[in-house]
Amino acid sequence: MEKVMFIEIGMGIDLHGQNVTKAAVRAVQNAIHHNSMPGLRMVLPENNIHNMKVNVRLAIPADQDKLDLETVRAELPYGEVTFEVIEGGMLTSSGVVIAEKDDRNDLAYVVIASVEVGY
């Protein structure tokens, strides 16, 4: 990415089911769903929203091999999207195991996302 225009940070949690993808999707949604960038098109090459570059850094606490990046990518409809997955986030107790929610244990997965946008 030649020019970074903004960076948004988000957190996502899967309280039950230990689904790292669900927590990652929620982290990306949390990062991007509270802003509007009406002037972005004017500064992008050819004034085209598809020329935007988006880099998503995900701090994942466990089960990196189960992370479905295509499902996370679907939350970012424009631009060229790249990912960096690092160890991080948090595993903490949800306080209860609920079999109907597919819990394997009482762990809640917390994922942190940093979404960089530029061109």
- The tens digit of pLDDT for each residue in 71-112 reads 999 999 899 999 999 999 999 999 999 999 999 999 999 999
Distance CA 13, CA 22 (A): 8
DSSP structure class, residue 88? -
Contacts of 33 (CB under 8 A, 6+ apart): none
Q: How confident is the model at residue 38 (pLDDT cuts 50, 70, 90)?
A: confident
pTM of the model: 0.93
Average pLDDT of the residues of the chain: 96
- At 88, give phi and psi (nearest 5°): 165, -150
